[in-house]
């Protein structure tokens, strides 16, 4: 997993509450087990019309936000079914940080496992960031994970909380496999001991 230390990028505003995982990546795109290639289908039913043409009103289709790496959204983001394809699609599009007043628990946990930083903030802070994001490509926000700070285009600073273990995992680029491999010497030692004690296994 790629390390997440600091990010400066364009923030796209999506002030909708209860954005569920079927809105993030509809069910017809869940056949793959690959983490790549889903970005083009992110928010598919909002991004595209029935004929496949882009909806020019949807935020990620607007020129200022096509390269957004931060998403500022409404409360209860990622609710609905527990599909890991949702963070896969977000990451594949290029968004590495989602900011909202609250998240659905499973989606929130899946973000950390896939290198995305979800930040829960009070509504008044999210409203300020939504206002910043509405400025288009000039709305560059810096996310500093080490300092646990968000810095807006006007120089304002918002502090955020994060579980220390999850912070460590993102800073060091450790997913579940990476965490297991950190114990590789202990695992090898245990296996050697078991082989010596139970050679018939």
* In-domain check, residue 69: yes
Is position 185 within any domain?
no
pLDDT at 66 (0 to 100): 94
Domains contained in the chain, number: 1
pLDDT tens, position by position, 67-105: 999 999 999 999 998 899 999 999 999 999 999 999 999
Does residue 1 belong to any structural domain of this protein? no
Instruction: Specify if 122 maps to a domain.
Output: yes
The domain that contains 140 carries what CATH number? 3.20.19.10
In a domain, 10, yes or no: yes
Domain-embedded: residue 117: yes
Would 135 be classed as within a structural domain? yes
Q: pLDDT tens digit string along 24-74?
A: 999 999 988 888 899 999 999 999 998 889 999 999 999 999 999 999 999
Distance, CA of 168 to CA of 140 (rounded, Å): 25
Nearest to 114 by CA among 162, 178, 164, 60: 178
Flag whether 120 is in a domain: yes
Task: Report how far residue 114's alpha carbon sits from residue 183's, in angstroms, rounded to the nearest whole number.
Answer: 20
Judge whether residue 181 has pLDDT over 60: no
Domain membership of residue 84 as a residue range: 6-174
Q: pLDDT value at position 178? A: 62
pTM for the full model?
A: 0.88
């Amino acid at each position: 997993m790629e390390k997440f230390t600091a990010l400066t990028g364009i923030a796209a505003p999506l002030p909708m509450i209860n954005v569920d995982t079927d809105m993030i990546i509809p069910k017809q795109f869940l056949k793959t087990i690959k983490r790549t290639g889903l970005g083009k289908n992110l928010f598919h039913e909002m991004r595209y019309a029935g004929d496949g043409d882009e909806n020019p009103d949807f935020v990620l289709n607007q020129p200022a936000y096509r390269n957004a790496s931060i998403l500022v959204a409404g409360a209860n983001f990622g609710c609905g079914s527990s599909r890991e394809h949702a963070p896969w699609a977000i990451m594949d599009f290029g968004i590495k940080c989602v900011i909202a007043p609250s998240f659905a628990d499973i989606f929130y946990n899946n973000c950390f496992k896939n290198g995305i930083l979800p930040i829960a903030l009070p509504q008044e802070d999210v409203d300020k960031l939504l206002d910043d994001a509405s400025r288009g490509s000039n709305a560059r926000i810096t996310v500093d994970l080490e300092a646990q700070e968000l810095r807006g285009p006007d120089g304002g600073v918002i502090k955020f909380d994060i579980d220390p273990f999850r912070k460590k995992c993102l800073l060091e680029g450790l997913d579940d496999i990476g965490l297991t491999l950190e114990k590789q010497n202990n695992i090898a030692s245990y296996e050697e001991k078991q082989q010596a004690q139970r050679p018939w296994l």
